[in-house]
């Protein structure tokens, strides 16, 4: 598995490595500041307990971002929301550039023309750059785009979060008030329903809100500290930290099954409906340190293998023929 490094804001050498050898690359600095000594990233470390994915031709670091950054992807770019701003990382290898600066951004979504991001307010900005527009003037969390609507949560202090919808014709509308008081963290829209699991929460419940009438159905309970979930077709997939497992929930009848156990503190998860990807950690038998990695398996839980190394609390997006995940380097590999 050859590694290559793409051009970014700062110059640095490209390196190559074998499948099971740690490889360090001098990662470029964030787009707005290049320090004298760039940070170091480790694109690929394969835990000995699992095989490397044999069908994966390359894993490539591309730009930098925080591990906890939220990312979305379109045909041309990766957009990263981390801390105070949104950065555009072109897939072409061109230099990353700041789309928005000095604005708190915790969650991010996109449509054909705009980037939407949540933080102290809900904002939008054209993908090509321009004026930032305030869509909702209260703290927001969790954001998803479907058709011409942006769905998001607000969480006023001391009250249960509300699911809201913004659209150009009508502005902001309230869809529902969630039963659970925890913040949203992540929303997924499918088939005119909005799905939610409060993240990093013990005894959490998965719920589904019908957009048409705002009715909330509780579809699973007793979820012990999930840090990520995805919805595809008739199933909801989620990671569960306490059981160290990947779970699958039938949206038709609520049947819950374990796809993979001993997943090593699983967190972010995504799927294209046939393959499932999840960020996990494995204990290195020699160093006694945990090694975060991106794990791939089928949606039935078979054929698990390691795509490459990652970072704890990484974000993950499957888009087209690639998976993208965050760390000291923004990394992507052919799937």
pLDDT in the model for residue 183: 80
Which residues are CB-neighbours of 74 under 8 A, at least 6 positions away? 110, 127, 319
Tokens 């998965």, located at residue: 206
Asked if residue 71 lies in contact with residue 324, where contact means CB atoms within 8 angstroms, the answer is yes
Report, as an integer, the average pLDDT of 94-105.
Answer: 89
The CA angle 111-187-299, to the nearest 5 degrees, is: 95
Tokens 């993979």, located at residue: 260
Report, as an integer, the average pLDDT of 221-240.
Answer: 95
Q: Look at strands 256-260 and 162-167 and give their pairing.
A: unpaired
Q: Look at strands 97-104 and 114-118 and give their pairing.
A: unpaired
Report, as an integer, the average pLDDT of 260-289.
Answer: 84
Q: Give me the residues paired with residue 220 across strands.
A: 206
CA distance 290 to 285: 9
Closest to 71 in 3D by CA, of 143, 133, 6, 167: 143
Exposure class string for 183-194: b at 16+ Cβ within 10 A, else e: bbbbbbbbeebb
Q: Looking only at Cα atoms, what is the longest distance across the chain?
A: 59
CA distance 25 to 62: 11
pLDDT in the model for residue 184: 86
Q: Extract the tokens encoding 137.
A: 């003037």
- Is the pLDDT at 250 greater than 80, yes or no? yes
Residue 319 has what DSSP assignment?
E
Report, as an integer, the average pLDDT of 234-252.
Answer: 94
Confidence of residue 69 (pLDDT cuts 50, 70, 90): confident
pLDDT in the model for residue 211: 97
- Is the pLDDT at 329 greater than 90, yes or no? no
- Is the pLDDT at 47 greater than 70, yes or no? no
Report, as an integer, the average pLDDT of 162-182.
Answer: 94
What are the tens digits of pLDDT across the range 6-21?
Answer: 222 222 223 223 322 2
pLDDT in the model for residue 67: 64
Average pLDDT, the chain: 81
CA distance 297 to 278: 9
Q: Look at strands 2-3 and 25-26 and give their pairing.
A: unpaired
Q: Extract the tokens encoding 261.
A: 């156990």
CA distance 302 to 274: 11
φ and ψ of 165, to 5 deg: -130, 135
Report, as an integer, the average pLDDT of 78-82.
Answer: 89
CA distance 170 to 114: 18
Closest to 237 in 3D by CA, of 205, 277, 209: 277
pLDDT in the model for residue 285: 65
Give Rg (Cα) of the chain.
19
pLDDT in the model for residue 309: 78
What are the tens digits of pLDDT across the range 106-146?
Answer: 899 999 999 999 989 999 999 999 999 999 999 998 999 99
- Is 7 in a helix, a strand, or coil? coil
pLDDT in the model for residue 170: 95
Q: Extract the tokens encoding 98.
A: 């700041």
- Is the pLDDT at 185 greater than 60, yes or no? yes
pLDDT in the model for residue 265: 84
Counting every residue, how long is the chain?
335
pLDDT in the model for residue 82: 80
CA distance 159 to 179: 11
Closest to 140 in 3D by CA, of 159, 164, 124, 111: 164
pLDDT in the model for residue 27: 35
Higher local confidence (pLDDT), 252 or 7:
252
Report, as an integer, the average pLDDT of 244-257.
Answer: 95
């Amino acid at each position: 598995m050859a590694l290559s490094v793409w051009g970014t804001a700062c110059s640095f050498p490209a390196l190559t490595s074998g499948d099971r050898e740690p490889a360090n690359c001098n990662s470029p600095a964030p787009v707005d500041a290049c320090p004298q000594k760039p940070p170091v990233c480790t694109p690929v470390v394969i835990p000995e307990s699992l095989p490397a994915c044999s069908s994966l031709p390359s894993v490539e670091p591309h730009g930098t971002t925080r591990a906890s950054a939220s990312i979305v992807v379109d045909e041309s770019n990766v957009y990263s929301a981390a801390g105070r701003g949104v950065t555009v990382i072109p897939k072409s290898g061109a230099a990353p550039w700041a789309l928005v600066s000095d604005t708190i951004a915790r969650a991010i979504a996109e449509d054909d023309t705009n980037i939407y991001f949540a933080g102290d307010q809900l904002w939008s900005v054209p993908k090509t750059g321009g004026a930032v527009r305030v869509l909702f003037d209260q703290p927001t969390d969790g954001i998803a785009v479907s058709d011409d609507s942006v769905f998001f949560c607000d969480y006023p202090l001391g009250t249960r979060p509300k699911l809201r919808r913004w659209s150009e014709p009508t502005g902001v509308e309230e869809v529902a008030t969630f039963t659970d008081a925890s913040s949203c963290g992540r929303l997924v829209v499918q088939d005119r329903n909005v799905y939610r699991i409060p993240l990093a929460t013990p005894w959490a419940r998965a719920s589904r809100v019908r957009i048409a009438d705002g009715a909330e159905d509780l579809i699973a309970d007793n979820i012990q500290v999930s840090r990520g979930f995805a919805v595809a077709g008739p199933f909801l997939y989620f990671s569960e930290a306490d059981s160290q497992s990947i779970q699958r929930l039938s949206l038709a009848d609520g049947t819950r099954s374990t796809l993979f156990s001993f997943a090593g503190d699983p967190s972010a998860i995504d799927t294209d409906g046939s393959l499932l990807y999840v960020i996990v950690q494995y204990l290195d038998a020699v160093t006694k340190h945990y090694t975060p990695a991106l794990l791939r398996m089928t949606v039935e839980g078979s054929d698990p293998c390691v795509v490459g190394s990652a970072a704890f609390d990484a974000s993950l997006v499957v888009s087209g023929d690639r998976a993208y995940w965050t760390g000291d380097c923004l990394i992507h590999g052919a799937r």
